Amino acid sequence: MINKIYSFLKSFRYIKLEDDFKNIIFGPEAKLYLKYFKKNYYYIEPTKETIINLKLILPCLFNFFLYLIKKPKLTIKYLKISPRLFFIISLIKIKKIKKTISLVDYNEWPNVIKKFLGNEIYSIGVQTSLRAHPLNRVLLAKDFNNYYYWNEFKDSEKKKLNSTKIYPLGALKSCLVVNDKNLWNKVNLLPESSGGDKKKNLVLISTMHETYIGFFEKFLSNKSEADYDKIILDLENKCLNNKLFGKIKFSNEKEKVPRRMFYFQPIEFFKMCIFIKRYIKEEGVNLSIIERNKIGTRSYEFEKKFFQNFFGKDLFTNLEVFEKIEYIVNNRNHVFLTNISSMGKEALALNRKSFFFSTLLHFYNPDLFEKNSNFFSINDKYREFKKSLTQLFDLTGEKFSKNKMDLKSILPSCSITKKNFKDFLLATDLELN
């Protein structure tokens, strides 16, 4: 409790109430997007900071006691979580804010505020990534007034959305970069065949995070690379038989979703790396890597060292977040390969060849990937991996487009368009620089 109070007091950030802003954008992580917008908003990271102004103190106390009377259980519940909430509610009332925007849909604060203010506030959520579990997109979306999605909702999902209005947008990050760099025409250019006599270029979109690092240190550290195949196969078999991590617990008994499903990702990832190394050697393919981690972090250093050791040289693109999107758009004949990265699906939405390697994850959640597609490999044999990847390299523009349109659960809804992006800006009152 003392630590909570100390953290609360330390977090105060002064706000000028005379500043002109129409709405509130909620983080975290959304700070990355702000450079593209004119300053007609106020940005808050409610888990990290407490906005303060002497003129807010009395309204804050008033609103706290008001809702303590009107909604006692709700007030006490969220007071325990954070007293910051009532400062934000007071700010909204004083400034007569009509809209809240969550650029990261897993941030529940806009919808918590809506529980107190009701129709006084209009909440807008933006899907952050193409995910399945453990975050349930329907549960995240159903409390927003407007929700902008990447991929289409199933009919069964739509029934659970209550009154939420849903609109296609795709990845906001991609929309911002493409618009800022005026790349809309390039996005519409379909890839050509990158087979035949042309040098093939394969780009691995890394998904290496802390879980992978722990996995590597536990199972592969100090092991010979010659033993990797055998180790990964053994781990895969144990994983499929629920012997690697003990008895599987489910986060939702009704849906039977494994809480520990994300532990299976590193097994797939390292197996994919083994296949890639063999493929580029046999086929004479150029390999580049879009790194996952931020330059300068411990995870980045581990990631870079791992790939340098594994492939024998530095293959990183060394790009910032938004530069990665520009790189993908500008290399329309490259093939982008990953296991589960949302950026891989961003690349596909940007009309670029993307290839997803999924064996274990498909086993636990068949809805994650399409069967019988040029873009997905759910077979754990190298020969099938090689065959599918080679076919994708050879895929021409028209055939690429047809195959892409057949991906019912992934596309075409997440493909970005100028119209959908403009509609989003109008709905949010956000203005571009």
DSSP single-letter state for residue 294: P
- Residues 290, 229 contacting (CB under 8 angstroms): no
Return the closest-CA partner of residue 16 out of 58, 51, 57: 51
Q: Quick one: 119 exposed, middle or buried, by C-beta within 10 A (0-12, 13-18, 19+)?
A: exposed
Query: Which one-letter DSSP state was computed for residue 378?
Result: -
Q: State how far the Cα of 316 lies from the Cα of 209, in Å rounded to an integer.
A: 16
Q: How far apart are CA 403 and CA 334, in angstroms?
A: 17
Rounded distance between C-alpha atoms, residue 149 and residue 169, angstroms: 6
Q: Which two tokens stand for residue 207?
A: 């998904």
pLDDT over threshold 70, residue 249: no
- Is pLDDT at 381 greater than 80 in this prediction? yes
Read off the pLDDT of residues 183-195 as tens digits, 9 standing for 90 and up: 999 998 988 876 5
Q: Residue 369: its pLDDT value, please?
A: 63
C-alpha 269/C-alpha 280 separation (Å) is: 16
pTM: 0.86
**Chain segment 153-210, per-residue pLDDT in tens:** 888 888 888 889 999 998 999 999 999 999 999 998 988 876 556 789 999 999 998 8
Average the pLDDT over each of 110-124, 290-304, 365-379 and give the range with the smallest value: 365-379
Look-up of token digits 């579990």: 133
Backbone angles phi, psi at 149, to 5 degrees: -110, 165
Residue 423's alpha-carbon distances to 168, 292, 427, 429, 430, in angstroms, are 10, 30, 6, 10, 11
**pLDDT band at 428; cut points 50, 70, 90:** very high
| Strand blocks (E) in 352-405 | 353-357, 376-377
Question: How far is the C-alpha of 244 from the C-alpha of 376, rounded, in Å?
Answer: 26
Write the CA distances from 149 to 73, 175, 298, integer angstroms: 32, 13, 32
| 291-307 pLDDT, tens digit each | 999 888 888 999 999 89
Residue ranges and CATH numbers for the domains of the chain are 2-182+418-428 (3.40.50), 186-405 (3.40.50)
Helices (H), 199-320: 210-219, 228-240, 265-283, 298-311
pLDDT, one tens digit per residue, over 72-91 is 999 888 887 777 888 899 99
List the one residue out of 222, 125, 232, 111 whose CA is nearest residue 169: 125
Q: 26 by DSSP, 3-state: which?
A: strand
